[in-house]
């Protein structure tokens, strides 16, 4: 399922190949965020053609809208979206505890109120696996408890305890549902989510205990929620050092280009983040010169592309002045162009990361790169 191809000599970076029921994915990999099955402003075909062989969607959101009954009619989320690659669905633990109007943890699961229509729902770890079976996700994620920033140790301990119990119940639910599923759905992989808030020993405990469970891979959750970079990377380092070497590691919701390069050097294989797509819609553009703002008057009559070194559809065809004009006039097309560009930038970054690990030059690449962002 996961094979390490090359390990870097100077850092913990590695390249690998992850095999899902719908294809093979070279790692490190960046997954664009298609929360409800669309990456904002692009088609699933464009995402795949840009080289993204896996995208991220969200169980909580898809459950609320359009609902599993709709997706069940299509046989899978993949059929529903017409996306040709693999799909990883986050469980929605993060969304329940950060987005829902309230979330009440009980012994069995969590009761929450939809942020859309105020309706009350109840998720158990088992139910979340069943929903992801209906979505037929290539990679399912366990239901976890996101404690949030600035919580006391007592709460972090309690939340971790629940997350660990839910991890076990998720594995049991996966095994139990496998026997009742059609053959094609038996190989939905399951990743567990390590937590532990910002307490070193809890992070260690979480990764250590979960590494003894039968999961296909491990995510590091609850980071990049307002803590310092130093704290984030410390927690990441502790989590990874307690996870098995031979399983993929997925850092959830991170991050800037420099964060990605730094996390790869600690041994992370998979990433997702809204940054390239959300920033594009707000006019912030990642370029080979660093991050620029398309609203800057510098670009008002710039005949060159936004990034002359970029080979994306936007930069190949349009001047910075034209893109800026469209953006300032609030034309939807400008958001598409900037999203295409930013995702191309992230894809190109991850390609260069992989190439530099394979050629033994990742250490130099990461040193030069971090100063840009
Ligand atoms: Zn471009």
Determine whether 364 is an active site residue. Answer: no
Separation of 214 CA from ligand 1 center, angstroms? 42
What's the pLDDT score for residue 180? 81
* In a domain? residue 373: no
What's the pLDDT score for residue 181? 80
CA dihedral 50, 56, 57, 60 (to 10 degrees): -160
- 76 token code pair: 């899978």
Separation of 341 CA from ligand 1 center, angstroms? 4
HSE (CB half, 13 Å, CA atoms) of 272?
A: 22
CATH of the domain at 43: 3.20.20.105
Separation of 337 CA from ligand 1 center, angstroms? 8
Residues linked to residue 103 through DSSP beta bridges, in sequence order: 112
Q: What is the mean pLDDT of residues 45-71?
A: 97
* In a domain? residue 262: yes
Query: What residues contact 210, with CB distance under 8 A and at least 6 apart?
Result: 164, 167, 192, 194, 218, 243
Is the pLDDT reported for residue 44 higher than 90?
Answer: yes
* In a domain? residue 94: yes
Which pairing describes strands 139-141 and 86-90: parallel, antiparallel, or unpaired? parallel
Same structural domain for residues 122 and 29? yes
In tens, the pLDDT along 129-161 reads: 999 999 999 999 999 999 989 899 999 999 999
Separation of 316 CA from ligand 1 center, angstroms? 7
Separation of 185 CA from ligand 1 center, angstroms? 38
Q: Which of 46, 73, 44, 74 is nearest to 57 (CA)?
A: 44
Confidence band, pLDDT 50/70/90 cuts, at residue 286: very high
Domain range for 322: 275-365
Separation of 307 CA from ligand 1 center, angstroms? 6
Alpha carbons 12 and 71: distance in angstroms, whole number: 40
In tens, the pLDDT along 84-103 reads: 999 999 999 998 988 877 89
Same structural domain for residues 262 and 325? no
* In a domain? residue 133: yes
Q: DSSP letters along 276-325, please?
A: HHHHHHTTEEEETTEEEETTSGGGTT--S-S-TT--SHHHHH--HHHHHH
Separation of 19 CA from ligand 1 center, angstroms? 30
Select which of 90, 159, 269, 307 is catalytic. Answer: 90
Same structural domain for residues 355 and 214? no
Separation of 367 CA from ligand 1 center, angstroms? 24
Separation of 342 CA from ligand 1 center, angstroms? 7
Q: From the CB of residue 311, how many other CB atoms can be counted at a distance below 10 Å?
A: 10
Same structural domain for residues 6 and 154? yes
- 237 token code pair: 């380092």
Same structural domain for residues 179 and 314? no
The share of the chain scoring above pLDDT 70, in percent, equals 100
* In a domain? residue 370: no
Separation of 309 CA from ligand 1 center, angstroms? 8
Q: From the CB of residue 137, how many other CB atoms can be counted at a distance below 10 Å?
A: 29
What's the pLDDT score for residue 173? 97
CA dihedral 138, 144, 150, 151 (to 10 degrees): -170
Same structural domain for residues 144 and 86? yes
* In a domain? residue 224: yes
As for how many domains the chain has, the answer is 2
Same structural domain for residues 166 and 266? yes
Same structural domain for residues 160 and 147? yes
Q: Which of 83, 81, 43, 82 is nearest to 62 (CA)?
A: 81
Last residue within a domain, chosen from 216, 248, 273: 273
Last residue within a domain, chosen from 273, 300, 327: 273
Higher pLDDT, 268 or 368: 268
Same structural domain for residues 166 and 309? no
Mean residue pLDDT across the chain = 96
What's the pLDDT score for residue 35? 96
* In a domain? residue 71: yes
Separation of 163 CA from ligand 1 center, angstroms? 41
Alpha carbons 54 and 24: distance in angstroms, whole number: 9
Q: Which of 248, 205, 221 is nearest to 86 (CA)?
A: 248
Same structural domain for residues 335 and 200? no
* In a domain? residue 371: no
Least-confidence region, from 24-33, 157-166, 284-293, 362-371: 362-371
Same structural domain for residues 244 and 125? yes
Q: What is the mean pLDDT of residues 202-209?
A: 98
Select which of 138, 159, 272, 307 is catalytic. Answer: 272
Alpha carbons 317 and 314: distance in angstroms, whole number: 6
Alpha carbons 201 and 198: distance in angstroms, whole number: 9
Q: Which helix (H) or strand (E) holds 372?
A: none
What's the pLDDT score for residue 179? 83
Alpha carbons 229 and 219: distance in angstroms, whole number: 18
Is the pLDDT reported for residue 326 higher than 80?
Answer: yes
Alpha carbons 98 and 283: distance in angstroms, whole number: 26
Separation of 39 CA from ligand 1 center, angstroms? 17
Query: What residues contact 359, with CB distance under 8 A and at least 6 apart?
Result: none
Alpha carbons 187 and 89: distance in angstroms, whole number: 14
Last residue within a domain, chosen from 251, 273, 295: 273
pTM: predicted TM-score of the whole model, two decimal places: 0.97
Same structural domain for residues 44 and 95? yes
- 189 token code pair: 């992989």
């Amino acid at each position: 399922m996961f094979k390490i191809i090359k390990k870097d000599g100077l850092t913990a970076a590695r390249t690998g190949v992850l095999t899902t029921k719908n294809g093979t994915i070279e790692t490190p990999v960046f997954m664009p965020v298609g929360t409800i099955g669309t990456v904002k402003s692009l088609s699933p075909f464009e995402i795949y053609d840009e080289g993204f062989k896996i995208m991220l969607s969200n169980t909580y959101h898809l459950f609320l809208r359009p609902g599993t009954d709709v997706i069940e009619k299509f046989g899978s989320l993949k059929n529903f979206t017409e996306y040709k690659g693999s799909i990883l669905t986050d469980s929605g633990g993060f969304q329940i505890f950060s987005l829902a109007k309230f979330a009440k943890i009980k012994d069995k699961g969590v009761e929450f109120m939809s942020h859309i229509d105020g309706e009350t729902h109840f998720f158990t770890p088992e139910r979340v696996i069943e929903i992801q079976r209906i979505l037929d996700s290539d990679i399912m994620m366990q239901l976890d408890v996101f404690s949030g920033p600035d919580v006391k140790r007592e709460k972090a301990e309690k939340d971790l305890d629940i997350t660990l119990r839910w991890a076990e119940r998720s594995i049991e639910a996966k095994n139990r549902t496998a026997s009742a599923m059609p053959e094609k759905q038996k190989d939905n992989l399951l990743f567990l989510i390590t937590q532990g808030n910002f307490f070193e020993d809890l992070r260690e405990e979480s990764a250590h205990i979960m590494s003894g469970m039968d999961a296909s891979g491990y995510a590091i959750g609850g980071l990049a929620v307002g803590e310092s970079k130093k704290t984030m990377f410390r927690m990441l380092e502790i989590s990874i050092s307690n996870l098995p070497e031979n399983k993929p590691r997925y850092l959830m919701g991170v991050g800037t280009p420099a964060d990605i390069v730094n996390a790869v050097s600690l041994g992370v294989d998979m990433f997702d983040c809204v940054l390239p797509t959300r920033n594009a819609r707000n006019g912030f553009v990642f370029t080979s010169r660093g991050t620029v703002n398309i609203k800057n008057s510098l670009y008002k009559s710039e005949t060159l592309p936004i990034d002359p070194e970029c080979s994306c559809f936007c930069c190949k065809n349009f001047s910075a002045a034209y893109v800026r004009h469209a953006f300032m006039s609030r034309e939807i097309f400008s958001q598409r162009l900037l999203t295409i560009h930013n995702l191309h930038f992230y894809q190109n970054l991850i390609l260069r990361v992989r190439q530099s690990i394979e050629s033994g030059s990742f250490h130099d690449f990461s040193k030069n790169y971090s100063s840009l962002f």
